[in-house]
């Protein structure tokens, strides 16, 4: 979408990579809040993430880029906002999927720490250390 909106692909990539989570591995974001089922205090509030995804969907429509996954994400975020979760972490929208599946994910923080300590990538030092 950024390229279609006129951005240089390399500049776009470097901008994203230089951002707050641009160098983070995909699943690292689940460690501190989602896996231990601790969504407050928010690292990034759902209401702010909802605003960002809304802007992305609107830009996609403006430049004629289909944003199907973003639209589905926005629907879930909107449902979570309707439940009063706006001040919770943006990952709280994932609780809707847990509810739909009839499961609850809540990893014991000590077990999570132990698993990460056994991980040779050094992740424990970057995320919870």
Task: Dump pLDDT digits (tens) for 27-75.
Answer: 676 677 778 888 888 989 999 999 999 999 999 999 999 999 999 999 9
Asked if residue 88 is part of any domain, the answer here is: yes
Asked if residue 59 is part of any domain, the answer here is: yes
For the stretch 91-107, pLDDT in tens is: 899 999 999 999 998 88
3 pLDDT exceeds 80? yes
Asked if residue 77 is part of any domain, the answer here is: yes
For residues 50 and 52, what is the distance between their CA atoms, to the nearest angstrom? 5
Asked if residue 57 is part of any domain, the answer here is: yes
CATH number of the domain enclosing 120: 1.10.1040.10
Q: What is the pLDDT of residue 77?
A: 97
Asked if residue 1 is part of any domain, the answer here is: no
Structural domain including 65 reads 9-127
Per DSSP, the three-state class of 108 is coil
Asked if residue 47 is part of any domain, the answer here is: yes
Asked if residue 82 is part of any domain, the answer here is: yes
Find tokens 């759902």 and name the residue: 46
Number of separate domains in the chain? 1
Per DSSP, the three-state class of 122 is coil
Asked if residue 3 is part of any domain, the answer here is: no
């Amino acid at each position: 979408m950024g390229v279609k909106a006129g951005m240089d692909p390399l500049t776009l990539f470097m901008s994203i990579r230089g951002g707050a989570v641009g160098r983070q591995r995909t699943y690292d974001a689940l460690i501190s809040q989602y896996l231990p089922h601790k969504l407050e205090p928010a690292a990034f509030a759902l209401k702010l993430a909802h605003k960002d995804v809304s802007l992305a969907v609107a830009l996609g429509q403006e430049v004629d880029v289909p944003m199907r996954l973003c639209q589905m994400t926005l629907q879930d975020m909107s449902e979570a906002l309707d439940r009063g979760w706006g001040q919770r972490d943006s990952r709280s929208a994932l609780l809707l999927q847990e509810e739909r599946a009839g499961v609850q994910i809540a990893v014991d923080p000590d077990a999570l720490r132990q698993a990460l300590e056994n991980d040779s990538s050094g992740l424990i030092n970057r995320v919870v250390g």
